[in-house]
């Protein structure tokens, strides 16, 4: 602001008082601008203008299509119908488990039979039907068929059991539950508490004795159902398509609302931003009940006519063999999947594939280069975005470690921002006018996105639970009177506008007056421990300020030279970031999307009376990790051990 005022002052003085010619005035302004630090802007401009123009063009293209589809009241089934018309006999889906190939026409027929069958059973637009099955072609056909009728699918996480499963079915108010035969035992466990009016249908191998009483076999019923397109429901581009449940890492899963425009936006930004092609073949080994697998991956099939290879579950040992067999050109990843691949012994198949792009989110910066160079993948297409968020990011030019960018030149074009937070309480920090304070480059802050409900790109659809939705909204963020979506994630922006994921809010902890990033420490420890699963979290220690770092490692303690490990940590991590406590256990529990579950680990902490796994603590006097028994635990609790 001060620089701008100075430039205007020089302009007026030079022209009106000194009456200099415009050329001299121009040079005067240029020298003042550069001498006042404006050269930084020139440097940023030169380095980012090409990236920003491309990103802006992608945004404008998607925005134009969104406006068109909003005006025409298109829906995902209508957009899919256009894809079928373009190439009805092209392969749409391949299920690796049985090598089953479906053309776009076959997918269209199957989904229409689903719609007609459900309509015959009394379901109508606005009703809810739950889908609870492992990955396969039928999963896509089921929710797509429901959408053709206007029925909203509740896509249930296949890892859920008992209370969590019952909770999802109850809160969705589903009238119908379609489950895979492989999930029958989980339904058996809760059948007594299910609503008697809930209709049960089983898809897959049929054995009446293994399913709850009253269950019908869906497959033959669909074979007999009409395959014509049902009459179009009264649904528009911003109406509900289906529900995707959060991972439940902090409590019972919440049903995030996915509307038709959100499905299109997420799939289209990835398609255009990462320069995908209609002839690409996508390898999708991610769960289809999650947005990465079902929108980012499957959306390329339904909306853009790409072939998608579906795998029931991720397999590190079979990954590259599958890519070779099906000529895949794009692979999807999430969470720790890339590390699992790096942990595999080298094989010839790694160099025989045609994969040109790895698409996903959560690739740690510490293994980014190793992953792309070892497996010869030219483009790492890292993005950021949750199912319900309105501030997705894309790393369109493969900047190592970045999950996306925002223009430093025209930041107002895409209304997202990093805002300052209290790193102890994670509360938003506001200025004297009550508006949130933006972060400067290099300063960590929470990512927020301005909410504009009339704009399909900026709207926030929230959750079925209105209370949960309200918790994700803050007021007076960019300016007085506005609203913004709170991602709950801490990111850092560099000078060029690239954004780097740092931590989930609440996952960072403070020790010895410093903030410890669990993501960074987990990446370092995993690399030192041969890519083992590592969960880092803070635990309370009586008489100390903050929380001491603790690492749970999925590896038998006997496999680790703890003395050598402590020496490596001295070189790799600052003193405050080194874990004080270590816990070795057979495996770490993860969500279906490879997120580590830390809630129970935090509760159990380092008490040997509670934790039966091997425990160690960093003896400050000896400079190495020693066993943590009941006697040592008592000394620590009494403040007799220096940590």
Question: How is the chain split among helix, strand and coil, in percent rounded to 5?
Answer: 40, 20, 40
Does 357 score more than 80 pLDDT?
yes
Does the structure show a pLDDT above 90 at 159?
Answer: no
Mean pLDDT confidence for 252-259: 90
Could you tell me if residue 363 is inside a domain?
no
- Look up residue 182 and give its DSSP letter: G
Q: List pLDDT tens digits, range 21-34.
A: 777 667 666 665 65
Higher confidence at residue 556 or residue 552? 552
- Cα–Cα distances (Å) from 335 to 210, 309, 359, 550, 596, in that order, read 34, 20, 12, 21, 9
Residue 103, domain member (yes or no): yes
DSSP class per residue in 92-137: EEEETTTTEEEEHHHHHHHHHHHHHHHHHTT--TT-EEEEE--SSH
Q: Which residue has the higher pLDDT, 313 or 161?
A: 313
Least confident of 84-98, 100-114, 570-584, 623-637: 570-584
**pLDDT on residue 547:** 84
Between residues 251 and 411, the one the model is more confident about: 411
Which among 474, 504, 534 is the end of a domain?
504
Q: Across all residues in the chain, what is the average pLDDT?
A: 90
**What is the mean pLDDT of the segment spanning 545-557?**
83
Instruction: Let me know if residue 574 belongs to a domain.
Output: yes
Tokens read off for 443: 């300063």
Alpha-carbon distance 524 to 565, whole Å?
12
Q: What is the CA radius of gyration of the chain?
A: 27
43 falls within a domain: no
- The pLDDT assigned to 20 comes to 64
Tally of CB atoms within 10 A around 171: 18
Do 140 and 279 lie in a common domain? yes
As a whole number of angstroms, the distance between CA 85 and CA 305 comes to 10
Are 472 and 574 within one domain?
no
Q: Which residues pair with 153 in a beta bridge?
A: 129, 242
Per-range mean pLDDT, top range of 99-108, 406-415, 541-550: 99-108
- Is residue 516 included in any domain, yes or no? yes
Is the domain of 496 the same as that of 414? Answer: yes
Among 308, 268, 265, CA closest to 285:
308
Query: Mean pLDDT lowest for which of 101-105, 353-357, 529-533?
Result: 529-533
Name which of 245, 238, 222, 232 is nearest 174 in CA terms.
245
Q: What pLDDT is recorded for position 336?
A: 74
Q: At 249, is the pLDDT very low, low, confident or very high (cuts 50, 70, 90)? A: very low
- Which is more confidently placed, 337 or 558? 337
- How confident is residue 639, by pLDDT bands cut at 50, 70 and 90? confident
User: Kind and range of the H or E element at 509?
Assistant: strand 509-511
Distance between CA atoms of residues 157 and 287, nearest Å: 8
- Please check whether residue 353 lies inside any domain of the structure: no
Strand partners for 360: 333, 382
Report the CATH number that the domain containing residue 99 is assigned in CATH. 3.40.50.980
Of residues 366, 309, 346, the one with CA closest to residue 527: 366
- Give the residue from 313, 334, 361 where a domain finishes: 313
* Torsion sign across C-alpha atoms 505, 506, 510, 511: negative
CATH number of the domain to which 498 belongs: 2.30.38.10
Tens of pLDDT, residue by residue over 37-84, are 666 777 888 899 899 999 999 999 999 999 999 999 999 999 999 999
Q: 10-19, 364-373, 416-425: which range is least confident on average?
A: 10-19
Per-residue pLDDT at 497: 96
Angle at 368 between CA 364 and CA 370, to 5 degrees: 130
Q: Is 488 in the same domain as 513? A: no
- Expressed in angstroms, the distance from the first to the final Cα of the chain is 48
Q: In terms of domains, do 81 and 23 share one?
A: no
Indicate if 465 and 515 belong to the same structural domain: no
State pLDDT tens for residues 446-497: 999 999 999 989 999 999 989 889 989 999 999 999 999 999 888 999 999 9
What's the domain count of the chain?
Answer: 4
Same domain, 146 and 279: yes
The percent of residues above 70 in pLDDT, for the chain, comes to 91
Same structural domain, 103 and 248: yes
Regarding whether 109 and 224 lie in a shared domain, the answer is yes
132-154 pLDDT, tens digit per residue, is 999 999 999 999 999 999 999 99
Dist CA 202 CA 181 (whole Å): 6
Instruction: Give pLDDT, residue 15.
Output: 61
At residue 6, does pLDDT exceed 60?
A: no
Give the pLDDT of residue 11.
60
Encoded tokens for 45: 């401009």
Once rounded to an integer, what is the mean pLDDT over residues 312-324? 96
User: Do both 499 and 519 map to the same domain?
Assistant: no
Residue 600 located in a structural domain:
yes
- Written as one string, the DSSP assignment of 450-484 is E--TTSTTT----BSSHHHHHHTEEESSSSTT-EE
Percent of the chain at pLDDT exceeding 90: 68
- Containing domain of residue 104, as a range? 73-313
Using pLDDT thresholds of 50, 70 and 90, give the confidence band for residue 641.
confident
Q: Which of 287, 313, 339 is the last residue of a domain?
A: 313
Q: Are residues 297 and 148 in the same domain?
A: yes
Instruction: Give the CATH number, domain containing residue 596.
Output: 3.30.300.30
208 domain residue, yes or no: yes
> pLDDT class for 248, splitting at 50, 70, 90?
low
pTM for the whole structure: 0.82
When pLDDT is cut at 50, 70 and 90, the band that residue 626 belongs to is: very high
Q: Tell me, yes or no, whether 303 and 418 share the same domain.
A: no
């Amino acid at each position: 602001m001060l620089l701008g005022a100075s430039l205007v002052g020089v302009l007026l003085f030079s022209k009106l008082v000194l009456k200099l010619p415009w050329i001299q005035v121009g040079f005067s302004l240029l020298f003042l601008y550069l001498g006042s630090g404006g050269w930084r802007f020139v440097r940023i401009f030169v380095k980012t203008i090409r990236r920003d123009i491309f990103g802006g063009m992608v945004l404008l293209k998607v925005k134009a299509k969104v406006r068109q589809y909003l005006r025409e009241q298109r829906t995902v089934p209508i957009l899919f119908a256009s894809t079928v018309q373009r190439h009805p006999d092209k392969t749409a889906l391949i299920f690796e488990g049985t090598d089953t190939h479906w053309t776009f026409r076959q997918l269209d027929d199957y989904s229409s039979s689903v719609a007609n069958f459900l309509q015959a059973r009394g379901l109508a637009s606005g009703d809810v039907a739950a889908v609870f099955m492992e990955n396969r072609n039928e999963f896509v056909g089921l929710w797509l068929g429901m959408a053709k009728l206007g029925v909203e699918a509740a896509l249930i996480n296949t890892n859920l059991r008992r209370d969590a499963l019952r909770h999802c079915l109850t809160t969705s108010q589903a009238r119908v539950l379609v489950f895979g035969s492989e999930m029958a035992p989980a339904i058996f466990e809760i059948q007594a508490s299910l609503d008697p009016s809930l209709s049960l249908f089983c898809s897959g191998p049929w054995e009446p004795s293994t399913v709850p009483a009253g269950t019908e076999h869906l497959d033959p019923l669909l074979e007999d159902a009409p395959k014509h397109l049902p009459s179009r429901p009264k649904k528009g581009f911003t109406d509900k398509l289906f529900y995707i449940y959060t991972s439940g890492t902090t409590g019972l899963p919440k049903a995030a609302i996915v509307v038709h425009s959100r499905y299109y936006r997420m799939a289209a930004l990835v398609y255009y931003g990462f320069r995908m092609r209609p002839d690409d073949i996508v390898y999708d080994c991610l769960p289809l009940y999650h947005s990465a697998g079902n929108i980012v991956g499957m959306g390329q099939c339904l909306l853009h006519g790409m072939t998608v290879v579906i795998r029931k579950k991720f397999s590190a040992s079979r990954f590259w063999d599958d890519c070779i067999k099906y000529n895949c050109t794009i692979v999807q990843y999430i969470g720790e999947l890339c590390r699992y691949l790096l942990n595999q012994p080298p094989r010839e198949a790694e160099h025989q594939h045609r994969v040109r792009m790895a698409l996903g989110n959560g690739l740690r910066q510490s293994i980014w280069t190793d992953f792309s160079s070892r497996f010869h993948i030219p483009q790492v297409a890292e993005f950021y975005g949750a199912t319900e968020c309105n501030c997705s990011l894309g790393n369109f030019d493969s900047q190592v470690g970045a999950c996306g960018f925002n223009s430093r030149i025209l930041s107002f074009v895409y209304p997202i921002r990093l805002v300052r937070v209290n790193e102890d309480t994670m509360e938003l920090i506001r200025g004297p006018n009550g508006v949130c304070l933006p972060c400067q480059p290099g300063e960590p802050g929470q990512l927020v996105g301005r909410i504009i409900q009339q704009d399909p790109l900026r709207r926030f659809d929230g959750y079925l639970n209105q209370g949960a939705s309200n918790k994700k909204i803050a007021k007076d963020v960019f300016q007085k009177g506005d609203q913004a979506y709170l991602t709950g994630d801490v990111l850092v922006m560099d000078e060029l506008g690239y954004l780097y994921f740092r931590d989930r809010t609440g996952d960072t902890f403070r020790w010895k007056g410093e903030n410890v990033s669990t993501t960074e420490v987990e990446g370092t420890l995993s690399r030192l421990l041969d890519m083992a699963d590592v969960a880092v979290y803070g635990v309370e220690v009586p008489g100390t300020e903050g929380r001491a770092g603790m690492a749970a490692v999925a590896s038998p303690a006997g496999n680790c030279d703890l003395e050598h490990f402590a020496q490596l940590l001295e070189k790799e991590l600052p003193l405050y970031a080194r874990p004080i406590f270590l816990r070795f256990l057979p495996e770490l529990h993860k969500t279906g999307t490879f997120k580590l579950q830390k809630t129970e680990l935090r509760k159990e902490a380092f008490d040997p009376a509670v934790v039966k796994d091997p425990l160690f603590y960093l003896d400050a006097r000896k400079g190495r990790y020693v066993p943590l028994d009941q006697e040592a635990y008592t000394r620590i609790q009494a403040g007799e051990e220096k940590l």
